[in-house]
Amino acid sequence: MNVLVVNAGSSSLKYQLFDMDKNTVLAKGLCERIGIDGRITHSPADKEGFKADLPMKTHADAIKYVIDALVDKNHGVVKSLKEIDAVGHRVLHGGAKFHESVLIDDKVLAAIEECIPLGPLHNPANLTGIRSCAEVLGKDFPQVAVFDTAFGMTMPEKAFLYAIPHRYYDDYKIRRYGFHGTSHRFVSARAAQMLGRPASELKIITCHLGNGSSVSAVKNGKCVDTSMGLTPLEGLPMGTRSGSIDPAVIEFISEHENKSAKEVLRILNKESGMLGITGKSSDFRDLHAEAKKGDDRCQLAIDIFTYAVRKYIGAYMAAMEGVDAVVFTAGVGENDREIRADVCKGLDFMGISLDEDKNSNAPRGTEAVISKDSSKAKILVIPTNEELVIAKDTVDIVLNRK
C-alpha cells in the first residue's frame, strides 16, 4: 500500500510517498511560494530529482504538480495515480474533538473548521490541503487526518485545565492541548522498544527540541503532561517564541508602546526566544558559534534554554514519581551534543547520568543510548519521524484496523 503524506502550510506543502509494504520512502518533496509564484523540489529515493518554478496559484495547483512529479516518466516513482492508495494529512489542531486519527468525511472537515479559532494559522492551510487533494484525486479518495494535539488528549484534568474561570473551558474549550504530539508519541513508543519493555510500565520524558520545542511526560504509554498549551507559545523558550511568561507582560508592553494585544503576541511568537535574547539568531548553530567568539548574550540564551528544559525534566519526574528514560529528538535534540550535555548537567542526583563520551560520539541522525551504564534512567537520542506515524495511522484506518 502506497500512502502520500501531506503537510500543508499557508504557502507551502511538504509531501512524502511511502511504500508501506516495504517500509520505504519512495519520494519526498516540497512546494513553496504557493499563491505567490510557485516552486517544487522533488526528491525520489532512487532517481535524480528536480527543482522547478511552476505557477501555483492554489494548493490544488501544487497537488497537481506533486502527482505529476510522482508519476513522471523520468523522475516519478509510480506508474499512475492508481498506485497511490490513500493520503494522510498532518492537521495541527483537533481541539477537544479529536483524540485520535480519523478518516476524513464532511463531518470531520466541518469539525476541523470549527477548530480554526484554536489554530488560526495552520488549520485553514491544513483544510486547504485536504480539499485540494479531494479536488485533484476525487471526493471519495481515502484521506486521513492525524492531529498534532491528539496525543495530549489523555492528560488528566489537573494537568490540562488552566486556573481561570471555568466558563472559559465550558464555553470555548480553553485548555492545555499540547503540540508535537505525533513526535512525542513516536519517540516514546520507540524508546520503549529500545528499552525492551512494554510502554505500559514505563515513565518517559520526551524532549522535542527544535525551532519549536516541547517536553512531554509519558506514563504507561499515555501523555500525562506537556509543556505547550492552548497554542504552541507556552512552555520552553524557543527559536523565536518566548515560551511561558507572566501574562501581565502583554498588557505592560501594550500600554507602554501603544501596541494591540495581537501585535504583542506576534512579537512573543516571532521576535522572542533565542532571537529576542540575542538579537542575532534563532538557530542554535549560530548561537554556539557566537558564544565561542565571546558573545555573552548568545551564551545566556543557551543557558536560559537548557535551564528551562532541565526544570521541565524535574517537574515531570515529580509528576510521574520517577523516570525510566529521557529522550532527545528533533533538530536540536538529535544534533546538538552541547545542548544535551548542558540539559543533563547536574541531574545525576535524580538518577540521570550522561556519558560524555557516548554523547560526543553519538552519530548524527541515528538512535543512540548516551547515558552511563550506571545511570538509573536511560538517556536516548531518537530521530523523530512524524511522517511515518501519519502513514501508519493512514494504513490502519483505511484498512479498518483502527
Nearest distance from C-beta of residue 285 to ligand AMP, angstroms: 5
According to CB under 6 A, which residues from 227 to 266 bind ligand AMP?
A: 239
Which residue, 134 or 238, has its beta carbon nearer to ligand AMP?
Answer: 238
- Output the CA torsion sign for 300, 273, 329, 34: negative
| DSSP annotation of 362 | P
CA–CA separation, 316 vs 214, rounded Å? 12
Return the H-helix or E-strand segment holding 73: none
Q: Number of residues in contact with ligand AMP, rule: CB under 6 A?
A: 12
Residue 61 or 234 with smaller CB distance to ligand AMP: 234
Residues 261/238, Cβ–Cβ less than 8 Å: no
* Sheet (strand 325-329) strand order: 222-226, 213-219, 203-209, 325-329, 378-381, 368-369
* CA angle in degrees (0–180, nearest 5) for 6-11-13: 15
- Tell me the residue nearest to ligand AMP as measured from the CB: 331
Instruction: Provide the minimum distance between the beta carbon of 297 and ligand AMP in the complex, in angstroms, as a whole number.
Output: 16
- Active-site residue identified among 148, 225, 324, 336: 148
Q: How far is the CB of 256 from ligand AMP (least distance, A)?
A: 31
Q: Maximum CA pair distance of the chain?
A: 62
Which 292-351 positions form the footprint of ligand AMP (CB under 6 A)? 330-332, 335-336
Kindly write out the interface string for residues 262-291 of this chain, putting x where it contacts ligand AMP by CB under 6 A and - elsewhere.
---------------------xxx------
Least distance from C-beta 90 to ligand AMP, angstroms? 14
Angle, helices 59-71 vs 123-137, to 10°: value is 50
Task: Write the DSSP symbol of residue 193.
Answer: H
Region from 24-32, 185-193, 204-212, 292-300 binding ligand AMP, contact rule CB under 6 A? 204-212
Identify which of residues 220 and 299 has a Cβ nearer to ligand AMP in the complex: 299
Instruction: Decide if residue 211 touches ligand AMP (CB under 6 A).
Output: yes
Does 348 qualify as catalytic in the annotation? no
Distances (CA, A) of 189 to 147, 202, 364: 17, 10, 20
The residue (of 132 and 359) whose beta carbon lies closer to ligand AMP is 359
Q: Which stretch binds ligand AMP (CB under 6 A): 98-106, 121-129, 205-213, 349-357?
A: 205-213
215 bridge partner residues = 207
Query: Residue 324 and residue 4: Cα distance in Å, rounded?
Result: 35
Note the residues at the interface with ligand AMP (CB under 6 A).
210-212, 239, 283-285, 330-332, 335-336
Q: Which are the catalytic amino acids?
A: 148
